[in-house]
Structures are given as C-alpha cells and as structure tokens.
Structure 1
Amino acid sequence: MKKIFVDYKNLCKLCRDEKDGKIPILLFNEADGILSKRKDSTMGSVSQVENTIQNIILEEMEKLEGIMIATTNLADNLDAAFERRFLFKIKFENPTVKAKAKIWKSKLNWLPENEIEMFARNYDLSGGQIDNIVRKVTMDEILTGKRPEYEELLKLCKKEKLGETERKIGFF
C-alpha cells in the first residue's frame, strides 16, 4: 500500500516538472473494500493486518499532495476517519424519471414511448441496473432470435432489484 502512494508522489513530481503542473489522479474504485470501518484487533491477525493497511492509508492521505478520488456504493461502510479526510463528498442518486426514460430509449430504441415511460416511472433503477436488463435482453435475443415481449421486460425489471422478490440461494 505504501508503494502505491510513493509511486503516485513520484509520478506527481514528474508530471509537475514535465507537463505544465498537471498532476494525475489517484483513484480507489470500490474503496469500501479497503476504507471500511476498522475492526477490533482482538478478532485475529487478518483484522490486525487490515487495520495496519488502513492506518498507512490514513497517514498517506494526511500528507497527500495531489488528488485522490475514492468511489463506493457502500458509503455507510466507510470508516469515519477516512470520510473526514475527504474534502468533497458527492452522492449520486438514481436518475430522474426523465433521465431513466432517456437511458431506456438509448439502450432499447425499439421500445414504444409509452413502455419506456412506464419502465422509467415505475421502476427506481440505476443506470447500471438498466444496463443489466439490456444485457439480459441482448443475450435472450441472441439465444432465441427474438426480442422480449413487454411482460418479459416487466419480469426483468422486477427481478433486477435484490430484495424485491423472494429468492432462495441456488434456485431461480
């Protein structure tokens, strides 16, 4: 972990010297995996190692001379010490009904307008969840040679959100 920050610091110095002061961004995608709430060190050696890594990150964030961005869809899992060190925190909500309609239209332009509006209005899906449905539709089209009917799209929308329907592990 320390090497990541050392390499980033060296790259920033190199960029400042050679590229008109522009510096790179250090990106931690799915940051909740390493910036999560610290664990009680009595839980075992793995917890101790995780806490040590997190302490290194916290120390490096304090003296960082650059731009660090961390992304997560589990912000509630972040340790307060990390959250406090981020200057800006931006939360992206699910798209508006109008934006969802545009996403549906851009992905499945063969859908009638009334169906697009219905999906956008009745299903609080993120852009990524709509993409998942579109991938399933595409796979189905490849396998069957036909587009899904309205009822099949409804089922896909209902199944996309975990917890919306009862599921048992290992069974569909």
Structure 2
Amino acid sequence: MTASLIGKELSKILNADIPVYRVDLSQIVSKYVGETEKNLAKLFAKAEQKKWILFFDEGENFFSNRTNIKDSNDKYANQEVSYLLQRIEDYDGLVIVATNLKSNIDDAFARRFQSMIEFKLPNEQEREALWSNILPDERIILRETQLIPNLLKYNLSGGNIVNVVQYACLKAAKENQPIITLENCLTGIRRELAKMGKTL
C-alpha cells in the first residue's frame, strides 16, 4: 500500500504516470543456470523504458545474504545476487523493497538503500480499528461485546488480522455456521503466530 501511495504522489508531483510494478519472484527466478539473470535483464530493460517504480515484496527472497561457496548451487545463487546488485545500482529509477526479515538482506544491498522505514506493529487502538473494519458485520453476533475485546490482546499486524478473518470466514462457511466464532479466530491467530515461530 505504501509503495502504491508513493507512486501516486510521485505521479502528482511530476505530472506523469509513474506505475508501481510489483516484481513476481516466480516469474524471475529459474532453476536453469543463467535464466534468472536473463529474466532480470528483461525486467530492468522494460522498467527503464516504462519509467516504473520497482517494488520487491518479501525482499529477503531477492536480496538474501550471499553464502560461502560449498557447491555449484551456492556459486550460481551468489552470482544472481551480485547481478541483481549491479542492476539495482545502474537502474535510473526508484526501487522499493519490503521485508519482514531485515537481517536476511545482504549487507551490500542494505548499504545502498537511501532510506529504511520501520513499520511498527499496530497498538491496541489501531488493532481495534483493524478488527472492526475487517470483520464482516453481517456474520458477527455480539461482536463489540464479545469477539473483538477477546482478540485485542494479541499483538498482530494488519496482514495477520486479514489472514485470521479469512480463515475464520472459511471455517464458518465450511461448518455452515451463521457467525464467526471466537474459537475459529483463535485458531487463525495460532496459525499466524506459528508462521512467526511464536505460540498463543
């Protein structure tokens, strides 16, 4: 969302259409030697022509730490990272990288970032607003007095909350239930925390 807003603001300032292009890992990385570099070359050539803002979501997958070379796979992986580093340096445009794993970003990339912005987890008041906006009203009974207060104590991001609600809605539909239950929400929260290596 932030990348999109930056694109909109830059478009206004420069009085030009500056699209934000989200780079899809599956379309870039290849198991065949040299293909990833070719895909990156095509991407950057097109981005320069179209004046795109390049947005690398889950950047740790693209900009990961280079490893000690133990076999040919490590060698090629390091070559891909080095090639991407070179293309980023040469790119005459804006590149935005988002990650939840800053420690996994290669130091050579981190040194070249002009700005780093930390998005902190929402506080309790913000989480209440998120739960209220994301939960579908028509499927909740006693939501203000029962459901949301019981969910506020869990320190989740907006993305986590979206995933929890989607899970609870799917469970309600599967069970042919007219409401989203606290139990299903808590199961969804456990799933989200497990992704982060945490427990309820």
Q: Scaled by the length of structure 1, what TM-score is found?
A: 0.78
2-side partners of 1:99 and 1:7: how far apart? 39
2:66 touches 2:78 (CA, 8 Å); kept in 1?
Answer: yes
Matches within 5 A, 1:45-64: 45-64=72-91
Which residue among 159, 164, 167 is the counterpart of 1:136?
Answer: 167
Query: Unaligned regions of 5+ residues in structure 1, if any?
Result: 13-23, 167-172
Which residue among 83, 97, 117 is the counterpart of 2:149?
Answer: 117
2:56 touches 2:96 (CA, 8 Å); kept in 1?
Answer: yes
Match of 2:54 in 1: 26
1:27 touches 1:69 (CA, 8 Å); kept in 2?
Answer: yes
2:165 touches 2:188 (CA, 8 Å); kept in 1?
Answer: no
Deviations 1:100-133 (A, max 9, x none): 101111122431246423422x100111111121
Determine which structure has more spread, i.e. the larger CA radius of gyration: 1
Matches within 5 A, 1:1-150: 1-12=40-51, 24-41=52-69, 43-108=70-135, 109=137, 110=140, 111-113=143-145, 115-120=147-152, 122-146=153-177, 147-150=179-182
Kindly tell me the number of residue pairs found equivalent between the two proteins.
153
- Equivalent position SS for 2:91: coil
Shift of 1:143: 1.8
> Cα–Cα, structure 1 residues 5 and 160, in superposed 2: closer, same or farther, change >3 Å?
closer
2-side partners of 1:75 and 1:132: how far apart? 22
2-side partners of 1:158 and 1:80: how far apart? 33
2-side partners of 1:118 and 1:10: how far apart? 51
Q: Scaled by the length of structure 2, what TM-score is found?
A: 0.68
2-side partners of 1:133 and 1:70: how far apart? 25
Match of 2:14 in 1: none
Query: Unaligned regions of 5+ residues in structure 2, if any?
Result: 1-39
Aligned identity (percent) is 28
Shift of 1:50: 1.3
Tell me the C-alpha RMSD between the 2 structures: 2.1
Match of 1:160 in 2: 192
Deviations 1:25-53 (A, max 9, x none): 01222221120000112x11111111111
Q: Which has the higher contact order (CA 8 A, sep 6+)?
A: 1
- Equivalent position SS for 1:36: coil
Shift of 1:152: 4.4
